[in-house]
Structure 1
Amino acid sequence: MALRLFWRHGYEGTSIAALAEAVGVPVPSLYAAFGNKESLFLRAVEHYGRYAGRLYDEAFRARSAKAAARAVLMGEVELVCGRGTPEGCLMVQGALATSPESEVVREKMARLRRQAEVEIAHCFARFCSVGGLPAGWDPKTLAAYVTTVAAGLAVQAKSGMPRAQLTRVAEMAMLIWPEGSQ
């Protein structure tokens, strides 16, 4: 329940009172169990990471860089439009902009997003040695491109863009690959 609240409203948009109500405990018990809101948020992010991380698992098993990129983008569409889940992506919108008091949370989330980009770059780098990327393509820049598009998909989903349109945007992003490349 806490995860859904943070996913829907972000870190600062979710009050302690709402969290306590969702979890079904009084506020003092929530503090006793989790220490503070930041700690509960980070535990929710960890749980979300296990849930959302499955899209990366599939991508990292892909047989080509292009298939890996497609898996990330289509996985993102599934994630941000999931049935029974809030629209958007907790990693993108959970603490993108915060007050000065929550800067530590924003920084932690930014590090997690950068780590995902690094993992995607490592995936793409695997294909460099076998000619799996078009000549001159840098795995780090390509990973930045894919994560930027994925984050945009999350923002658009939160803004109400329908799944079909998000899918078309992801497909269009895949057109950067030269014809006939894998």
Structure 2
Amino acid sequence: MAERGRPRNFDRTAALRVAMEMFWEHGYEGTSIADLTSAMGITPPSLYNAFGNKEQLFREAVEFYVARDGGTTARALREGATAYKAIEAMLQAAGSAAQGPDRPRGCLVVLGAANCAQQNKKVDEFLQGYRQGTREAIFHRIRQGQSANELAPDADAGALADFYATVLNGLAVLTRDGASRTSVQAIVRQAMAAWPASA
């Protein structure tokens, strides 16, 4: 009788990392169950037993990505000595992290479900939630900077947060398209030139 479900040597974390890389490289709709099971080295029943379905696997893969490869944004915002330094480090980290030789280019949260079909709208909304969370984190870091007199108190924190979130997302697209490190650094310098002077 054939063995069903998860093989005994199934390494869930390793399989999840492989799934994350597949979704990162090819996007949600560009990655099939057959692609996933082949890359993960498991059978379809094993995938369904371990992760539920493709959408649930994608959600878990995104969470895995954010906690590891995609955590540079939150870390930069948290650890920056000033709001300016935090935003600058966030943009620089996004550009450099997306260009590693052993990983897909770009950002899974930004690019993982671009142009989803209607039946996959929930997947796109899931990623929108992450992107909105990043925008809110940028906004709060800017407001902290205003409270510390690092920038003018009448600066529009909302507009600045929208601007830097847009630059962050744009860097994901540019790095996916093969932008050089030099180009990314130039973009970061230009973006930081828009930072409002302190009071």
| TM-score above 0.5, yes or no | yes
Q: Which runs of 5+ in 2 are unaligned?
A: 1-17
Matched, 1:133 2:125: no
Distance 1:130 1:29 in 2: 53
Which SS does the other structure have where 1:56 is aligned?
Answer: helix
Give 1:58 deviation, angstroms. Answer: 2.6
Distance 1:145 1:17 in 2: 39
Matched, 1:152 2:161: no
Distance 2:73 2:130 in 1: 15
Give 1:136 deviation, angstroms. Answer: 2.6
Give 1:158 deviation, angstroms. Answer: 0.8
Give 1:140 deviation, angstroms. Answer: 2.2
Distance 1:14 1:129 in 2: 45
Match of 1:70 in 2: 88
Q: Percent identity?
A: 37
Match among 40, 52, 55 for residue 73 of structure 2: 55
Match of 2:12 in 1: none
What amino acid is the match of 1:3?
A: M
Give 1:126 deviation, angstroms. Answer: 1.0
What amino acid is the match of 2:184?
A: L
What amino acid is the match of 1:140?
A: G
Which SS does the other structure have where 1:13 is aligned?
Answer: coil
Distance 2:177 2:122 in 1: 26
Q: Which runs of 5+ in 1 are unaligned?
A: none
1:28-107 correspondence runs (5 A): 28-51=45-68, 52-107=70-125
Which SS does the other structure have where 2:28 is aligned?
Answer: helix
Give 1:135 deviation, angstroms. Answer: 4.6
Deviations, residues 87-127 of structure 1 (Å, cap 9, x unaligned): 01001000122001100110111011001111111111111
Match of 2:141 in 1: 123
Match of 1:17 in 2: 34
What amino acid is the match of 1:120?
A: I
Match of 1:4 in 2: 21
Distance 2:90 2:35 in 1: 33
Q: Are residues 178 and 32 of structure 1, via their aligned partners in 2, closer, same or farther at CA, if it must alter by over 3 Å? A: closer
Q: So what's the TM-score if we normalise by structure 2?
A: 0.86
Give 1:55 deviation, angstroms. Answer: 3.3
Distance 2:171 2:111 in 1: 12
- Once superposed, which parts of structure 1, at least 4 consecutive aligned residues long, lie more than 3 Å away? none
What amino acid is the match of 2:97?
A: L
Deviates more, 1:133-142 or 1:106-115: 133-142
Residues 151 and 196 of structure 2 are in contact (CA less than 8 Å); yes or no, is this contact kept in structure 1? no
Residues 147 and 153 of structure 2 are in contact (CA less than 8 Å); yes or no, is this contact kept in structure 1? no
Deviations, residues 148-177 of structure 1 (Å, cap 9, x unaligned): 001111101111111221111111111112
User: Rg larger in 1 or in 2?
Assistant: 2
Deviates more, 1:112-121 or 1:51-60: 51-60
Match of 2:160 in 1: 142
